[in-house]
Structure 1
Amino acid sequence: MGADKRIGILTSGGDCAGLNPVIRAVVHRAIGTYGWEVLGICRSTLGLMTNPPDVTKLEIDRVDSLLTMGGTVLGTTNKGDPFAFPMADGSLCDRSHEIIDNYHKLGLDALIGIGGDGSLAILRKIAQQGGINLVGIPKTIDNDVGSTEISIGFDTAVNIATEALDRLHFTAASHSRVMILEVMGRDAGHIALNAGIAGGADVILIPEIPYTLEKVCRKIKERQVQGKNFSIVIVSEAVCTEAGDLIKKMDRFGECRLGGIGQYLAEEIAGASGAETRVTVLGHIQRGGIPSPQDRLIAAAFGVEAVDLIAAGKYDHVVTWQNRQVGCVPITEAIGQYRAVDPQDTLVKTARGLGICLGD
C-alpha cells in the first residue's frame, strides 16, 4: 500500500487498561513504517454518526505519551446499537448507513476496531454491509473472546484483583473474618480464577463450576479447626445463587447490571458457619489504572499486527495471541466461539492441587 493510504481506528465497548498502548502501536507502525495517515474516531461508532464526523488526526509525537495511560483517549461507548439506535422520542432507528457513509466520506482505506465479541460482531455487520475493510483487535477484561489466549485489559484486571486479595489478607487475619471479594466477569470466571490462585484465596467461585454453600462452609470450618481464624473468598459477579438465580440490578435506563453475589454469599456463610463476614466489590477499579507490562506488550504486538494485516490486504480478521505468537483468525471464528473457563483447564487443576475450594 502506498503512502497516500488513510486508516481509521476506534475503541468500542467498555474501557480497559491497554487501549491507549494499542493506539500508540498502530500509529507508530502505520506512520513510521508505511507512511500512512491515521485518523482516530472519537466515541466509537458515535463519532461516525455526527456531521462532520468526530475524528482527530493522530501523529507519532501525539501518541508517545500513551504507553502508561489507562482508558482510551479516543473515548468509547457500550450503549446504542447502530442497527437499533435509541432516539429522543423513544423509537429505535437503524443508523448504520451513517457510519458507512462517513467512513467513505473520510476516504478511509481500512478501519481498525478494538472491542470485545459484542462490539466486533456489530462492527463486522456494518463492514459487510458497507464495504468497509475491517481488522479487529480483541479487548476485554473478561478474556472471553474466542481463538485468543489473552485479550487487552485482562492482565491488568487480574493484577488489580490480586493486589486487592493481598490487602484483604491482613485485615481478615486481624479481625478473624471471612473476606469476600466480588470481581467482574460478565459470563466467564477467568479473573476470579487467575487472581484467586495468585492472591492465595481459600475459595474461588466461578460461573463455570456449580457450587454448594455446604462445601464452601466446610472449607471455612476446616480452616477454623486448623487454627486459621480467617478465610478469603473470591467470586465472579456472574456466579448464581445456590438456587441458580443470577443476581441483577436494574438501572434507571432499564438495563440489567450484574452485582450482589458477594453480599448474598456473605449473608449465607455467616448464617451457616457463624463466621463474621465482610464484602468488597472491586467493580470498575479493575478496568482503570496504569496498564500492566504484559498488557503493554500484547497491545504493542496486536497494534503492529493489525497494521500489517491491512498492508497485506487481509481484512475481516481479528488479531490473536496463541502459543506465545501473534496471529489472526477470521472475525466470525473469534466471535463464533465463547471462551469460558474449561473445568479441566490447567489452572482449575492447579487450584484444586493447592487445596483451594471451588465449591463443588
Structure 2
Amino acid sequence: MNVRREEGLKTIGVLTGGGDCPGLNAVIRAVVRAGFAYDFETLGIRNGWLGLIDGDVEPLTDFSVSGILPKGGTILGTSRTNPLANTADFQKIQHNIKKYGIHALVVIGGDGTLSAARDVAKQGIPLVGVPKTIDNDISGTDVTFGFDTAVSIVTEAIDRLHTTAESHHRIIVVEVMGRNVGWIALTAGIAGGADAILIPEVHFTMDEVCRKLRARYEAGKKFSIVVIAEGAHREDIGVPPVPEHDRDECGHEKFVGVGNMLGKELERCLGVETRVTTLGHVQRGGSPTAYDRVLATRFGVAAVELIHAGDFGKMVALQGNRITSITLESAVQQLKTVDPAFYELGMMVTGGKK
C-alpha cells in the first residue's frame, strides 16, 4: 500500500506475533499515543512478521486506536511466521523496512516471537521487544500482560465448578493452559481453592493424586476440584516422544487432553463420578483486566522511550513496581518456571504435598 510520511517525522513499526493475548491492543494504543510525544508516527504491521515480509502495513493514527483499549485480541492480526526461516523472506523484511522508512520496530510477543526478535536484532535491525503471554514464562519480568486476565478467567471457572461438584459429590478436573510452566494452574488453583494442582515442573503419579483425594473423601469431603496444566506429565508413564504429525507449525506438541486421561483414571481408581472441563482458548480471549490494561500501557510507553533513546535490542520488563528493560538475549535464554517456594505454598493450602 502507499504510505504517506510527514517530512521530518520518524516512523515506528509495531507488530504482534504468536498467540493472541488480552492486552495487545492496549500496547498498540500506547505505542501510537506515546509516539506523538516524541514526534514519531506509527505503522501497524499486519499479521506479525508475515506482514513485514509482504509489506502489509497501515498507518496508525489517534483515530485508529480510539476505543481499542478494552478489546481482546489484536487489531493488527498475528501469525507464527519465522522471519529468518529463509534468506529471501529476510531480504524482503530489510527491503520493506527501508521502503516504508521504519526507524525501529516494536515487537510484541512471547518466547518464540521474542527469540526471533533477538535474532533479527543481531542482523542490525533496530527493535525493542514487549513481553506478552498468558503463561507468564518470560524471564526477566515479574509478570507478562495477559496472565492476570487468564488467571481471573480460570478462577471464575473454578468458582462456578465448585457448586456443581459439591452438589453432585463429584470430582471435577479443570484442564488449563500451560505447555511448559504451571503459573496459571498454580495461581488460579490457589485462588479458586482447588484440592489438587498438577503442573509441568513437577511430574506426578496417579497413586499420589488418588491417595490425596481419597483422604478427602475419608474425612467426609465428598467432592474435589483438580486443576491440571495441559503440559503436566505422569511420572509413572514417563514422557513419550511426540511424532511430527502431532506438532504444530512451530514444532510444539498438539495436546490431546491430559485432563481427560486424568479424569478416567481418577474415576477408575476412586469409584467417584468424575467430570472434565477443558477451558482452552477461553483463557486468552475477551477483554483484559484493569491490571493487564495498565501493565500493557506502561510497556507500550516504555518501548517508545527506548526507541527515542536509541536503546535497541532490549525488552521492556516489570521488576517490582518499576518498568525497566533487559536484553532480549537474557529474556529468552530460558523459560521462567514456577518458583519452588510458591509451589510449596500451593501444596500446603491444598492439603499437603502431592
Q: TM-score w.r.t. structure 2 length?
A: 0.92
Give the aligned partner of residue 61 of structure 1: 63
In structure 2, what residue type is equivalent to 1:351?
A: G
Does residue 284 of structure 1 match 2:286? no
Aligned to 1:42: 46
Aligned to 2:13: 8
Q: How many residues get paired?
A: 344
Equivalent AA in structure 1 for residue 346 of structure 2: A
2:172 aligns with 179
Q: Residue type matched to 1:69 in 2?
A: K
For residues 312 and 351 of structure 2, the distance between their equivalents in structure 1, rounded to whole angstroms, comes to 44
Map Cα deviations across residues 145-184 of structure 1 (whole Å, 9 max, x no partner). 1111111211111111111101110111111110000001
Is the aligned partner of 1:200 residue 2:197?
Answer: no
What SS does structure 1 have at the residue aligned with 2:12?
strand
Q: Which residue of 1 aligns with 2:296?
A: 299
Match of 1:264 in 2: 261
Q: 1:100-157: CA deviations, max 9, x gaps?
A: 211111101110000112111112212322x211100001111111111111211111
Q: 3-state DSSP class of the match of 1:63?
A: coil
Quote how far apart the aligned CAs of 1:64 are. 2.3
Q: Is the 8 A contact 1:202 1:356 kept in 2?
A: yes
Unmatched 5+ residue regions in structure 2? 1-6
Contact in 1 for aligned 2:47/2:76 (Cα 8 Å): yes
- Say whether the 8 Å CA contact 1:216–1:357 is kept in structure 2: no
Which of these residues, 323, 332, 352, is aligned with residue 347 of structure 2? Answer: 352
CA contact (8 A) 1:318 1:330 kept: yes
Mapping of residues 10-29 of structure 1, within 5 Å: 10-29=15-34
Are the equivalent residues in 2 in contact too, given 1:177–1:231 (CA < 8 A)? yes
Tell me which amino acid in the other structure corresponds to 1:231: S
Residues 148-297 of structure 1 aligned to structure 2 (within 5 Å): 148-241=141-234, 242-245=236-239, 250=245, 256-297=253-294
Q: Residue deviations 1:264-323, cap 9 Å, x none?
A: 111111111111111111111111011011111110110110000111110000000011
Gaps of 5+ in 1: 86-92
Distance 1:240 1:210, change over 3 A: closer
> Percent identity between the aligned chains?
47
- Say whether 1:100 aligns with 2:98: no
Of residues 306, 312, 316, the one that matches 1:309 is 306
1:202 & 1:157 partners in 2: Cα distance?
Answer: 20
Output the aligned Cα RMSD: 1.9
Dislocated runs of 4+, deviation >4 Å? 246-255
Q: Who is 2:318 aligned against?
A: 321
Which amino acid letter does the alignment assign opposite residue 313 of structure 1? G
Amino acid of the structure 1 residue aligned with 2:281: H
**Against the structure 1 CA distance between its residues 217 and 157, is the aligned structure 2 distance closer, same or farther, given a 3 Å change threshold?**
same
SS at match of 1:62: coil
CA distance in 2, matches of 1:208, 1:253: 22
SS at structure 2 position matched to 1:180: strand
Does 2:76 align with 1:71?
A: no
Give, in angstroms, the shift of residue 81 of structure 1.
Answer: 2.3
Decide whether the 8 Å contact of 1:203 with 1:358 is kept in 2. no
Q: Which residue of 2 aligns with 1:142?
A: 135
2: distance between equivalents of 1:247 and 1:215?
Answer: 24
Indicate conservation of the 8 Å contact 2:204/2:233, yes or no. Answer: no
**What is the rounded CA distance, in whole Å, between the counterparts of 1:43 and 1:339 in structure 2?**
27
The one-letter amino acid paired with 1:20 is N
The farther-off stretch of 68-77 and 253-262 is 253-262
